[in-house]
Amino acid sequence: MRIWITGVLALAGWVAAGMAGAQDLMVEKKVFELPSFTTQSGRTLKQVRVGWESYGTLNADKSNAVLICHFFSGNSHAAGKYAASDAAPGYWDAIIGPGKAIDTDKYFVIASDTLVNLNTGDPKTTTTGPASIDPDTGKPYALDFPIVGIRDFVEVQKALVESLGIKKLALVAGPSMGSLQTFEWAASHPEMVAKAMPVIGAAEADAMLIGWLDVWAAPVLVDSNWNGGNYYGKAPPLAGLAKALAAVTLQANHQDWANATFGRRPAKEGDDPAKALLNRFQFQSVLDNAGAARAKVSDANHFLYLIKANQLFTAGGTSLADGMAKIRAPMLYITQPKDLVFTPDAVERTVKAAKDAGRDITHVTIDGSRGHLDGVMSMKQAEGAIRAFLAK
């Protein structure tokens, strides 16, 4: 989740640093609107809007559509650039594009923003959530916005897909929180998913993940500016959100990268951390600066709603076993053994549940020093496995 999260989890600058060789695929951001949408909780929302983009061309019988679901702190920008001057392409540009593993000369690839998307301050993100204006009151929803889950994200995507006349997806895929959406698609709408590719995720949020997500949320909840979620028009809880995003970034990475890149160097030459309480290590400073930068374009309530959606997740909405029993699509499951968000034991439970249910699952791993983030930054490694999977 850039996370992912759950997702997914990476900060834009770090993702960009891992993407070599920008591509020339040019894309346009669009907006999809539903006049009304009823959530799984039974609440009906008016004027639900999400951003989306596409790559490639939909064929005549509309059989070549692929859906990419984004990670926790991401948005629909999975590949290509909006302008040639963009610093970096979309997060999965290494595997999406002309001649790439998910070949846009063959496939029509769709990606959309989720409900309660984190990036409310990004002009290239469109989402409906607590920061949105409630048409009935003319004021931001704040915590009056209903609880939404991964299934709600999927149902909005389904409406978008169906609005394009697409009845079946050749592939649904995504990293971290995108993998949760992929599992949910396959379990809840098996007739619409030909193949599924969940990456750096699991088919259920286990107790430890629920607990870690609570740790992520804590700095926001103790920031006095959060004010019970009623901060719109006032000073937002930027300090708490910045610390929360720093925690996300820490867990999305791995000690191999942290130790090799920063070690125990002080944040400022000559300011020995042993000499004063407020003297810091370089890695502390980097995490805080990254969190603060990201907080400026994010919304704290959206962050909390995303956490709740991830905590509530079980594919199919029942149990891990029942969810796997509903899936019909062959799955290519890609994980990173050093992942500190979706840990090896969670991955093993997912694989076991799939096999116990008689599902067609191929499990491959990727390497790297970034842990969870390798599922965003190191996907080129999986190119051969993806090509073989799609060719079956």
Catalytic residue positions, numbered? 176, 339, 372
Q: Is the dihedral of CA 223, 48, 27, 151 positive or negative?
A: positive
3 state DSSP class of 203: coil
Measure the CA–CA gap between 122 and 221, rounded to whole angstroms.
Answer: 23
Beta strands in the chain (DSSP E): 30-38, 44-55, 65-68, 96-97, 102-103, 108-112, 171-175, 196-199, 331-335, 361-365
As given in the structure block, the two tokens for residue 73 are 């702190």
Measure the CA–CA gap between 86 and 69, rounded to whole angstroms.
Answer: 22
Beta bridge partners of residue 53, listed in sequence order = 111
CA distances from residue 289 to 33, 188, 190 in whole angstroms, order as listed: 35, 40, 43
3 state DSSP class of 85: coil
Where b means 16+ CB within 10 Å and e means fewer, 179-190 reads: bbbbbbbbbbbe
Radius of gyration of the chain (CA): 20
As given in the structure block, the two tokens for residue 108 are 């029509």
As given in the structure block, the two tokens for residue 119 are 């990036």
